[in-house]
Each structure stands twice: as structure tokens, then as C-alpha cells.
Chains A and B, each alone.
Chain A
């Protein structure tokens, strides 16, 4: 992996440099386009919420001999003639039936009717009932969790980095990740289930973690040797991002590998809905989070700080010296 090393060396020394800060206007335009797009997607393709959020009853018939979907509707209607049913074949061999909410008694009867219709044991029919309050509770709790988490993070990062501007940049980057990930989800037509919500919450943690690592290097470059470096503030930030680029790439690959493994297995081996839902949101989120740290959070931080009088005057000095040196040579 000599080439990888060399790439790393060049990034470290500044020989190779990607203009994360220099071209930030372009990155911001792209980011805004992505966010706006993600917000618009649900208008065209409404976000699908799983039964946990809408309430209802769900039955799964495991591996029946026939996967005729009509059989299921007929069986349900034999118990509750007016029920609306949504029958899908899950992973090619199981039948999943979602209906309106049913009473306990009806649930038992429908289970029995389904088992009978498909000629399987009663044990092979699983049923679940979700009251409408459930999804509401989860959503409310999640939003509270999000708010409290963001507030605490803002505080901790501001204390650690000694500037609230890093907190602000990190959290804007985080919201960017969240909106885009949900946008991708909606675009692909994936259902938002409680498991997916867990995934989204994990992405928050991951995204902030990723941003913190890069920001720590920025802090180092802009404070520890910033004064003598002969670089403007923006250049120091950019160098830090480039210096941690190999780490960022390796991290997202290594973090995505196990999650990808779950996805892969889940897609071929059926019934692991929870695992697939969690891993899908995390997989998308990891990629978006890496992008967002590099192209949104770091340039944003540089933008926030550049107009501070102290930094402005220093940058001006560096630029003047640079001009003078060019003239000297």
C-alpha cells in the first residue's frame, strides 16, 4: 500500500491538498441543494411509516407452501369482513399481512384462520398489535432525546474547544446529515420503523464523533502552531482536514464494513427486519456523515471564524508577507 502511504504523506505535508475550505462556496451550494432536495422528496414520495407508527395489527405466516396473497385476504375477511388488508411477501417465502387494529379475540381468530388457510401450524403465525399511541410515544421520546443530546453536545464541545463556533458548525453539519439521510430513505421508499429511528439516532452519535476527531486536528493546527505556520486561518483548517483525510476514509470504510455485512446478510437471509432497518439507516448515515464533516462542518467553521478581527488581521498579514516574498524572489 505504498500508494496509500504516499497519498497520506502528501496530504500530511500539504503537497496534495483538496480545497475543502477554498471551494467552500461550491460545497455549500451542493449541500444546500441536497438538503432542499431531501426536504422536497417527501412531497413527491411521502415518507412511509411502518405499522408501529400508524397502529394496527400485523400477522406473519412463516414459510407457507403457497405464497398466494389472496388466500391471506380471504382468511382475514372470513373473521372481519370489513378489514382493510395489506398483504406482502417478505423475502420470497413469508407472508405478512397488515390490517386495521383488531381486538385480542379477533387477533386470535385471524391467526388461526391464517394458519388454517395456509396449512401451517398455529406456531408459525406470529401476530403483533400496535396501539396508535405507541409510535407517538416513540417519536416524542426520540425528539426529546435529540433536543437534549444536541444541547449537551453543544455545551461539551464549546467547553472542550473553547469556542461555541465549533459546536455550531458541528451541529449544523449534524442536522445536514440527518436531513439528507432521511431524504435518501424517503427517496428509496424505505419504511421508517422504530429500528430505523434507532439507526438515525446512532448516526447522530457517529456524525458528531467523526466531526469531533477532525475538529480536534483543526484545533491543533489553528492554535498550537497556528501563529508561526505562515498559513491563513482557512488554510490551516484545510490542511487539518486534509491531514485527517486518510483517517476519515479508513474510518468510514471500517465502520461501514460490519454494517454492510448486516445489510448483505439481511438481504439474502430473511426475516431480520430489525437488523436490516437499523443497518440500512446507519450505512447511509455513515457515508453522509463523512461527507458532511469534510464538506460542510469544517468549511463552515472556517467561515464562522474568518471574520473575527484578530484572525482577519493575521490572515491579512500572512497574505501581505506572501506577496512581499514573491516580490523578493
Chain B
């Protein structure tokens, strides 16, 4: 019996595998039960669950490629738009240098599409009136009643022609009624449809206040820069704006007018609002005359909120526009069907691989099947965790990657088992063959699998979304494959060769030395092969190895000559 150290080592490694598996399940359990963000089933990509995918290309006005910062901001702008349209669980990601991928469950209506692709619009509008966000009033009976929808017959044209953007005569009877009935929870501020020269009803970011605003007086192009900083005196966070020449002049006019309202106590008409995509992101009060085009906005900012506002002003000012690169809708039934096809194909593929392994490798085939099973469990739980932590979604291409990987994984075992068999053919004992075969096979597997992982990484970095899913699953399974190989297959082999079935080389074990052309009595003691199936060549090769070690230089030369002769005639007749 061999020393027990490989056995102990094997048990320890297997225990490690159980621990790793346990920890992975624990992590996901934490995600499911504690954070309530994870799930026990993998998240599916759009092509498997159905939905709409729109790929937009962001373009700056001057045609220059947008920076990563601008892209992130553009994605944030689109996210707000999608959220505003009442679609939940949309997935918005930037991809490559210029693309934004919007994935929406279900079919996106035309309004949502229009909203998504309209360009970012930042406007400055004077405030005419403001109230809390509620669209209800308390009636005589003491109950809250929603304001009725405005009567269409109400007067919609100003009685007197407004003289400036702050003129109260903009507020017609109809607009007043609309303003009161406006529901911030269900806003209708489509950025594509807000006329610049008309008043606008808009809610603030938090949905806590609503504003009745005058026509736009300046747009985002007036701003050249916006940064978050601290007031040198009070240390409070503020947002510092820099305007261009035209902006400075126009803002000066607005500032003069609004500052006068402040002095006259005409609140809230001393406020002006920054409106991004039809939402008020800030509505500061004019605190003085600003004629140098460098206003700063102060308030109860934190560093984060100041930075957000600065970014919104800066990037909202950039007239980023979006062109649709591709859009497609997959119906939910089609997605489910595709997933079904994938799963069935996977199961059939798995069954075929199992049957073939069992035929060719007999009982060793069972180890292949067991390893693939362990691999399946680990891959599944890791995909669940990745869905939670990284937002990984399994796409159809990803499923294909998983199915293809079954075959690739089985190959590591083929390399290993063929190696063991080669060692057996060299006349080694089964236990020694497993150790030596492992030593050689692992080198081969490490180098060849690194090439696979390299391919997956390069694909993942360079490819677009469809290819990414595939590269990701292929890379992931290759990594898990190598892991399983070291931490499951090899230790299991080490243990199994200590059993009589495998260690004794049972004909059904797949490790029958006799069938493999070698026979041993005990360690390092060989006798000639008597069976017909054992090739003479094996014996010759083995004897040559043995003989080589004991030869003198002169003998070796002679043997070399003989060997050369033998391999050239292939018959191998002759004495040793």
C-alpha cells in the first residue's frame, strides 16, 4: 500500500471543495434572504425573457467622440427618462466608446422610444408659481379630492400680451387649472414636446414640488462649465457656473429682472429653474445682480448632491444627441422558447457526452460525468451570484457558451485519462500512473486552458454585448473547469485507485493494464506481456526504457542503432 499522504491530501482537497461550494451557496443565500437582491435562479437577458433592446449612439454637437464621463452622464440622463416613462427594471449600460444599450422588458411604445432618443435639453426658465407636488385639495367635506381635469373650454390665450418671461399674464385660466391638476407621480414632461417659447409645468427631481415656469430664456449652450466647490467663507458646498459671452449678457438681463422681484418681495418670481429634460433639477433664488456670467448656486448641498448638479448642468448643457443604431423586440414567448431549446439541447449534449465517456472510459467515464455535475452546480451558483453582484444576465449566446463548454470540459479529462493510460502502458503501477499521469497532464492542461481563457478575455474586452455573454460563460467555465480538475477530479482519482475495483485494474474500470498493453506484479517489477492484445511494441518500448538506464555509453550507442533500425521497420523483431 502506498503511503497514506496522498490519501490524506486528497481528502483535505475534497473538503476544501465542499467548503468553497458551501461558501458560495452561503453568499447567495445572504443575497436572497438578507439583502433580498439575489435569487436562486440566474437572471435572464432580454433575448431569453423577451423585451426591447435599443442601441443608441451618443453624439456630441461637434461630432467629437464623447468622453467616458459624458457617456456615463448620457446613460444617467437616459435612465431618468426611462424611469420617468414608468418602465421598471430597465437595464441601461454604456458599451464601447459611444454606444448606450437600453434594455426594457416588454414592448416599448413609441412615446418611450421618442423620449429615449431625444437629445438632452437644459433650459433656464423663470418661475411663475410653485406649490407642493400634491394635485389634490381638501374640499368642504374635509376629504382630499383630486383636482378635476381642466375644462377644455377654459381660456387658453393670455389676456394681455406678456412683456417678459416672468409676466404673470402667461398664466391663463386653463394653465392654472392644468397646473393644479398636474400629477408629479405620473409626469407628462416629454422633453421632445416641451416648446421653448411656451410656459411649462414641471416637477422637481424628488417629486416634492411643482413649478409653473415661463418660456425658456437661455439653453444649455450658455454654460461653458459647472463645478462643485466649497464657499471659501462658510465652507458650504456650492455649484459654480461659468457662462459664455452671450450667456453672460442674457443672464445679466434675467438677473436684473429677478433681483428686482426679490427686492419687491415678489416670491417665488425671484426664482429661476434649471430644467433638464422637462424636470427641474434646481430652482435657486436670485440673491443679487450677477453680471459677470459666473453665478454660483448655494443651498443645503452635500458634496454628492453638488457634484451631481454640476454634472447635470455641465453635461445637460452639452447637446448630446442620440441616434438609434439598432433596435429589436423579442417577444416573451419566443424568449422562453429559445431558452427551452437551449436547455434541451444542453441536456441531450450532456447525455451524449456521458454515454460516450462511459463507453470509451468505462467506470472512469463516471468520474467525467461526476465532474461535469459538480461543475454544473458551481457554475449555476456563481451565475446567480454574478447576477446579483455584477448584474450578469444570461443571454442565448451565454447558454450556447455553457453548452459548448461541456465538450471542452470533458476534454481535460480525456487528456488526463489518456496520460494515465500511457503511464500504464509504460508498465507503471496504477497508483504511480495516476500520480505521474497527473504530473504530466496538468502541465498540458494549464497551458492549453490559459490559451482558452486568454481568448475569452480578449473577446470579452473587445466584443459587443452579444459576444460578451458568450465569452463570459466560456471564460468562466474554463476557469471553473481547471479548478474542478485540481480540487475534485484528481483527488477523487487518487482515492479511487486505492479501491480494489480501480486499483486492481478491473476490466470495467477503464484502467485495466492488461488491456492497455502492460502488466505489473508489484511496484517496479515487470514481467513480459503474454496476451495477444498487448502489443509487442509496448514491450519493446518499455524494455528499451529499462535497458537505457543500465547501459554503458558503448552499449547505448549500439542500442541506439538497434532502436533506429527497429522504428524504421516497425516490426520490432530482435533481442534485447
Residues of A that sit less than 8 Å from B by CB: 1-2, 4-6, 8-10, 12-15, 17, 52, 62, 104-105, 108, 123-124, 126-131, 133-134, 137-138, 141-142, 144-145, 148-149, 152-153, 156-157, 160, 194-195, 197-198, 201-202, 204-206, 208-209, 212-213, 216-217, 220, 228-231, 235, 243-244, 246-247, 250-251, 253-262, 264-266, 269, 271-272, 274-275, 278-279, 282, 318-319, 321-322, 324-326, 328-329
Contact = CB atoms under 8 A, between A and B. Distances in A.
Question: Taking each of B55, B356, B418, which has the highest tally of chain A beta carbons within 10 Å of its own beta carbon?
Answer: B418
Given A128-B326, A254-B407, A246 B418 contact: yes
B560 A258 contact: no
Contact of A9 (B516, B560, B566): B516
B560 A272 contact: no
B349 A257 contact: yes
Contacts of A250: 356, 360, 414, 418
Given A128-B328, A257-B353, A258-B349, A325 B537 contact: no
B536 interface: yes
A210 B342 CA distance: 26
B253 to A, nearest CB: 40
15 contacts: A10-B537, A12-B517, A13-B540, A15-B570, A152-B454, A205-B455, A217-B444, A230-B567, A244-B418, A272-B396, A278-B400, A279-B404, A282-B404, A325-B565, A326-B565
Interface of B: 47, 55, 57, 96, 107, 110, 113-114, 323-331, 333-334, 337-338, 341-342, 344-346, 348-350, 352-353, 356-357, 359-360, 362, 396-397, 399-400, 403-404, 406-408, 410-411, 414-415, 418, 421-422, 425, 440, 443-444, 447-452, 454-456, 458-459, 461-464, 466-467, 470-471, 474, 515-517, 533-538, 540-541, 548, 556-557, 559-568, 570, 572, 574
Contacts of A254: 353, 356-357, 407, 410-411, 414
B415 A213 contact: yes
B445 to A, nearest CB: 8
Contacts of B467: 138, 142, 194, 197-198, 201
Nearest to A206: B408
Contact of A328 (B113, B357, B561): B561
Contact of A195 (B114, B346, B397): B397
Contacts of A15: 535-538, 570, 572
Please give me the 7 A-B residue pairs with the lowest Cβ-Cβ distance, nearest first. Answer: A258-B349, A13-B537, A128-B328, A230-B563, A255-B407, A322-B564, A15-B537
B410 A128 contact: no
B403 A231 contact: no
B408 A264 contact: no
A271 B337 contact: yes
Given A231-B567, A261-B345, A126 B330 contact: yes
Contact of B326 (A130, A145, A228, A256): A130
Contacts of A62: 331, 333-334
A1 B359 contact: yes
B334 A14 contact: no
Contacts of B563: 229-231
Given A12-B537, A198-B400, 17 more contacts: A9-B535, A127-B329, A128-B326, A141-B96, A145-B462, A156-B454, A194-B466, A206-B408, A216-B443, A255-B407, A257-B353, A258-B352, A259-B403, A269-B341, A274-B400, A321-B557, A322-B561
B422 A325 contact: no
B347 to A, nearest CB: 8
Given A198-B467, A253-B356, A153 B454 contact: yes
Contacts of B356: 250, 253-254, 257
B375 to A, nearest CB: 13
A155 to B, nearest CB: 10
Contacts of A156: 450-451, 454
Nearest to B542: A13
B441 to A, nearest CB: 9
Give the secondary structure class of A's interface: helix
Contact of B560 (A126, A157, A228): A228
A14 B324 contact: no
Given A254-B414, A259-B404, A265 B572 contact: no
Contact of B414 (A216, A217, A251): A251
Contact of A275 (B400, B451, B516): B400
Contacts of A134: 55, 325-326
Contact of A261 (B352, B548, B561): B352
Contact of B474 (A126, A202, A257, A265): A202
Contacts of B461: 145
A108 B110 contact: yes
Contact of A271 (B338, B462, B548): B338
Contacts of A326: 565
Contacts of B570: 14-15, 17
A258 B407 contact: yes
Contact of A141 (B346, B406, B463): B463
Given A208-B451, A322-B564, A9 B348 contact: no
Given A209-B408, A278-B397, A325-B565, A5 B516 contact: yes
Given A126-B334, A130-B326, A274 B47 contact: yes
A261 B325 CA distance: 34
Nearest to A212: B448
Nearest to A243: B422
Contacts of B410: 254-255
